[in-house]
Amino acid sequence: MKARILVTALVTASMAFGAFAQNHSFDIDLKKVGAPIQPTMDGIFFEDSNFAADGGLYAELVKNRSFEFPNALQGWKSFGRVEILDDGPFDRCPHYARLKDPGHKDKQTGLENEGFFGIGMEAGKEYSFTVWARVPDGGEGAIRIELVTPASMGENQFFTQDRIRISGAQWKKYEAVIKPGVTDPKAVLRIFLEAPRTTIDLEHVSLIPGDALEGVYRRDLAEALADLQPGIFRFPGGCIVEGTDLDTRYNWKNSVGPVENRPINENRWEDTFPHRLYPDYYQSYGLGFYEFFRLSELIGSEPLPILSCGLACQFQNDDMSAHVPVDELGPYIQDALDLIEFANGSTDTKWGALRASMGHPEPFNLKYLGIGNEQWDAIYPERLEPFVAALRKQHPEIKLVGSAGPNSEGDQFDFLWPEMKRLGADLVDEHFYRPEAWFLSQGSRYDNYDRKGPKVFAGEYACHGVGRKYNHFHASLLEAAFMTGLERNADIVHMATYAPLFAHVEGWQWRPDLIWYDNLRSMRTASWHVQHLYGLYKGENVLTLTMDGAPVTGAEGQDGLFASAVKDGNLIYVKVANTSESSRDLSFNFTGLKKKDADPVAVERVVFTSDSLYEDNTLDDPDAIVPVEVPFSGSGRTIGATVPPQSFTVFVFER
Ligand code: AHR
């Protein structure tokens, strides 16, 4: 049995196994083993919106660490005599700061970095400070580094400090480990000249918590991903792939190589929403394609990069001049070919050698690649076509993902699906951020899909409640209900990823999201728990489950019930979402057993429900709404149970 982090609850009257009217009879056929459930079925979608990378999963605590923002001191406060120069040691990030003697013994020269909504520091935890520095005129100097509570927060006091001696006119990397004695989510990093106050140049100032996974990933957030056991990891988005314009599209080649030399990119979510403006939102690319591939490996997912097809975000660009003409797509197609070489190529190829130099000589074993995010109109297939031709020719082993546009149905959707089929896409990426009624009506969405065409990738979805476009339990319940249809149709649905994934409580542009955090704490939403349950009880093959001969899809007359069944070795997992306001009595009838076969035995029941339908977990109360194990026993070819109103339950039987 897999490790499961669930709370065990006392049996409540409504959940108890006991007297019930068996008016919802689920027939589960154990004779016929259905389609295999792809290991990629349940996964995660990462996009650097909502401060998901810098300020989120990327553990770097210093904003604008290389002084490369258009306003070179954005994120910094300077005091004394500070200059910005641009002939530094890293050609793609040439700026650096020069600190000079303030000219009076009682004055200071230095810098303070505000971090991302402050710098979260925890008492007793180690933080690794690094900086590239030199004494331009030769000789020796020193800097003092401190973590302090900013003056604006009241008492201006430092909690930890260290002195670093800098010597010589050559750029060198210096390191110090600091350990604050106090916890503060909004500290600042202060650096200032110390005696002998010789001029010192500073470049790429970094502060990373000592517990960051591999020194890169914020630990609690990485763990929240790993716990989902995701089969597929899509990155880097989302619209960020396309950019507000082509200049701001995600350029994977800028995101690899030494972090000191990765040029920043204006984050395309910086000013998309005037009511949620973040004029200091840039991508450091510290979490770049190497780090995404590596994270896929660490959490056991297949990587699925999505690349620009040469169309800038179509929501923001009506004019064809914003896009790459079809006959000029060469460099974009080359980017795709080079990415495959970066991921899988031998170490004697250009890009494979770069991967090796970054610490990973073994290939990442890339199998999937998406071209284009949410694209539409004929301008998309006509661009996709030359990509497909080149990729099929050179890399027939790579499965290609095309887009069905931004809508779950409608003209564009109807136009793009046959186009994807014509072009031979292996998977089609469908997106649906839709309201409650849509989710309730889509239990059978895939039951009648064309089995001969591409497979389905439900690449971005979440229930957006009408008037309640934020995280709450009810939305997660409807997602759980809808997912029974994904599972039942595992022969055609090969991947599904909820979106967006991450959000900083002080820096979001989109909601709902799967995981929320501030500088020190994180919270897994009810939707996360639904994804978690699907990950834990994934199973190997679909089993046929019917009620009165029909799949249980929330259809009229099915009393708000949605259900699916899978087998996992000798275990049977039955998932039941009861979206109605009444409890429902069920009986599980196991068919297809031979006389001599042993009877199934009830072994486990996990119930996810809440009295607070429109609430969710919070940073202060992160476990307010969690699935609980409820005792479950019984054996035989018919086993009964009751499911509470508005609940999602996973039943486990053994045979
Ligand atoms: O997830 C937020 C955005 O929604 C994605 O960037 C985009 O693909 C979709 O429109």
For residues 156 and 210, is the Cβ–Cβ distance under 8 A? no
Q: Which helix (H) or strand (E) holds 604?
A: strand 601-609
> Using a CB cutoff of 8 Å and minimum separation of 24, what contacts does 159-165 make?
159/121, 159/184, 159/187, 160/121, 160/127, 162/129, 163/194, 164/131, 164/133, 165/140, 165/141
- Ligand 1 centre distance from Cα of residue 49 (Å): 9
Residue located nearest, by CA, to atom 5 of ligand 1: 238
**For range 138-158, the mean pLDDT:** 81
Please tell me the residue having the least CA distance from ligand 1 atom 6.
Answer: 238
- Of 272, 273, 460, 461, the one to substitute when testing ligand 1's pocket (max ligand atoms within 8 A of C-beta) is 460
DSSP per residue over 278-340, as a string? -TT-EE--SS-HHHHHHHHHHHT-EEEEEE--S---TTT--SGGGS--GGG-HHHHHHHHHHH
223: CA distance to ligand 1 center in Å? 24
Residue whose CA is closest, atom 7 of ligand 1? 238
- Across the range 605-610, mean pLDDT stands at 98
Amino acid in the structure at residue 423: L
pLDDT the model gives residue 152: 59
Residue 408 DSSP SS3: coil
- Model confidence pLDDT, tens digit, residues 383-433: 999 999 999 999 999 999 999 999 999 999 999 999 999 999 999 999 999
CA 41/CA 464 separation, integer angstroms: 22
Axis-axis angle for helices 330-344, 350-357 (nearest 10): 50
H or E, element range at 441: helix 436-441
Rounded mean pLDDT, 499-527: 98
DSSP summary character for residue 605? E
- Ligand 1 atom nearest the C-alpha of 315 is 10
374 catalytic per annotation: yes
| Residue ID of nearest Cα to ligand 1 atom 9 | 238
The number of the ligand 1 atom at minimal distance from the alpha carbon of 239 is 6
Per-residue pLDDT at 12 exceeds 50: no
Q: What number does the ligand 1 atom closest to the CA of 499 have?
A: 1
The model's pTM: 0.96
Q: What is the pLDDT of residues 241-266, one digit of tens each?
A: 999 999 999 999 999 999 999 999 99
Pairing assessment for the beta strands 571-578 and 24-36 based on DSSP bridges: unpaired
- Residue 210 DSSP label: T
Q: Ligand 1 centre from 346 Cα, in Å?
A: 34
Residue among 240, 311, 374 whose CB has most ligand 1 atoms within 8 A, to mutate: 374
Mutate to test the pocket of ligand 1, among 48, 276, 376, 433 (most ligand atoms within 8 A of CB): 433
Would you say residue 47 has pLDDT above 50?
Answer: yes
Instruction: Give 227: exposed, middle or buried? Use CB within 10 Å, 0-12, 13-18, 19+.
Output: middle
Label residue 159 by pLDDT band (50, 70, 90).
Answer: confident
Name the catalytic one among 68, 146, 203, 374. Answer: 374
Contacts of 431 (CB under 8 A, 6+ apart): 374, 404, 405, 406, 407, 408, 459, 460, 461, 499
Q: How far away, in angstroms, is 457 Cα from ligand 1 center?
A: 15
Specify the pLDDT at position 326: 98
Q: Give the pLDDT mean for 509-538.
A: 98
Place of tokens 């060198």: 172
Ligand 1 centre and the CA of 308: distance in Å? 14
Question: Residue 110: CB partners within 8 Å, gap ≥ 6?
Answer: 78, 79, 80, 82, 99, 143, 190, 191, 192, 193
Q: What is the average pLDDT across 505-522?
A: 98
Pocket residues: Cβ below 6 A from ligand 1: 47, 49, 237-239, 373-374, 406, 460, 499-500, 510
| Low-confidence winner among 150-154, 192-196, 408-412, 618-622 (lowest mean pLDDT) | 150-154
| Mean of per-residue pLDDT scores for the chain | 95
Least-confidence region, from 19-23, 116-120, 234-238 = 19-23
Question: For the chain, how far is it from start to end, CA to CA, in angstroms?
Answer: 14
Reply yes or no on whether the pLDDT at 4 is more than 70. no
Nearest CA to ligand 1 atom 4: 238
CA–centroid distance, 372 to ligand 1, in Å, is 12
Q: Residue 653 Cα, ligand 1 centroid: separation in angstroms?
A: 39
Share of the chain above pLDDT 90, in %: 93
Contact 171, 95 (CB under 8 A): no
pLDDT of residue 154: 59
Residue 635 DSSP one-character state: B
Atom of ligand 1 nearest to the CA of 460: 1
Summarize pLDDT for 161-188 with one digit per residue, the tens: 899 999 999 999 999 999 998 899 999 9
